[in-house]
């Protein structure tokens, strides 16, 4: 792994469904004009909560995001996987592909969900971080810029931080960009976005990995890098 580092210095409660296991709280989350489905999992003595922002046709059922979330929970971090699009919007987007690139829409919904989850009794004492993938990386950075000190850390996996535009200059949360070595075009876009960030930041390039981190061991490397970043920066809130 090559790494570059540089540093500069009450919403309504969530509506909880009846179905609940010992490990997962299934939530219906109001986000403006829509209600989004999410799965909140909080391990014992969690030190922070990581909200996953999916993009490019992915969902909370994505095997890659599920695998990363499990490793984060094993590291003592709570996770919130939810869908930024409703089921009807997912069907529409499967044909048009336009909603997954509507970073403004995705970031607004992520910010609304963040405000809801920050007030929910299950998680209101946990420091909040974002894990964004693909266009979800841009949404995470734009939401982090909008919410300021409410967000403790951001990690982008194979993301498109360039799509965050001017918001990059306003991100205060420590930000880690993770890109596959063989994902050459996305790596160039991340390097340009990295140069615009003025927060504490790091760019990690995972050897031999392509865009989806399907090569053996590469997704595990992503999860370990993310877990270390979140554990460093997220704290329980008093």
More confident residue, 96 or 186: 186
Distance CA 59, CA 29 (A): 15
Mean pLDDT of 188-201: 98
Residues 6+ apart with CB under 8 A from 70: none
pLDDT of 235 above 50: yes
**CB burial string 132-163: b at 16+ within 10 A, e below:** bbbbbbbbbbbbbbbbeebbbbbbbbbbbbbb
pLDDT of 55 above 90: no
Mean pLDDT of 139-152: 97
Note the pLDDT tens digit of each residue in 200-209. 999 999 999 9
pLDDT of 19 above 50: no
> CB 85: neighbour CB atoms within 10 A?
21
Report the pLDDT value the prediction gives residue 57, as an integer from 0 to 100: 54
Distance CA 152, CA 50 (A): 10
User: What mean pLDDT value characterizes the chain?
Assistant: 86
Six token digits for residue 28:
């219906």
SS3 per residue for 164-220: HHHHHHHCCCCEEEEEECCCHHHHHHHHHHHHHCCCCEEEEEECCCCCCCCCCCHHH
Report the pLDDT value the prediction gives residue 116, as an integer from 0 to 100: 92
Measured over the CA atoms of residue 134, residue 138, residue 143 and residue 144, the dihedral's sign is positive
Mean pLDDT of 47-60: 79
Report the pLDDT value the prediction gives residue 37, as an integer from 0 to 100: 87
pLDDT of 88 above 70: yes
Q: What are the residue boundaries of the structural domains of the chain, listed by start? A: 2-233
Report the pLDDT value the prediction gives residue 56, as an integer from 0 to 100: 53
- Hey, what CATH topology would domain 2-233 get? Rossmann fold (3.40.50)
Question: DSSP class of residue 41?
Answer: E
């Amino acid at each position: 792994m090559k790494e570059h580092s540089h540093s500069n210095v009450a919403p309504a409660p969530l509506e909880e469904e009846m179905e609940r296991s010992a490990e997962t709280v299934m939530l219906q989350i109001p986000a403006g004009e829509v209600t989004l489905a999410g799965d909140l999992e909080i391990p014992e003595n969690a030190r922070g909560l990581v909200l996953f922002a999916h993009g490019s046709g992915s969902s909370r059922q994505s095997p890659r995001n599920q695998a990363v979330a499990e490793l984060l929970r094993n590291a003592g971090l709570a996770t919130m996987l939810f869908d930024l699009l409703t089921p009807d919007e997912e069907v529409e987007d499967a044909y048009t592909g336009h909603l997954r690139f509507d970073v403004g829409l995705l970031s607004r919904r992520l910010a609304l969900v963040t405000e809801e989850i920050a007030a929910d009794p299950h998680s209101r004492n946990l420091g909040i971080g974002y894990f964004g993938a693909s266009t979800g990386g841009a949404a995470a950075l734009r939401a982090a810029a909008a919410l300021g000190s409410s967000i403790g850390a951001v990690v982008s996996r194979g993301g498109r931080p360039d799509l965050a535009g001017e918001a990059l200059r306003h991100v205060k949360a420590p930000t880690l960009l993770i890109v596959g070595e063989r994902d050459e075009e996305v790596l160039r876009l991340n390097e340009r976005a990295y140069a615009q960030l003025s927060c504490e930041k790091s760019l990690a390039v995972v050897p031999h990995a392509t865009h989806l981190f399907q090569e053996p061991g590469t997704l595990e490397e992503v999860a370990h890098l993310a877990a270390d970043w979140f554990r460093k920066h997220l704290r329980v809130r008093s």
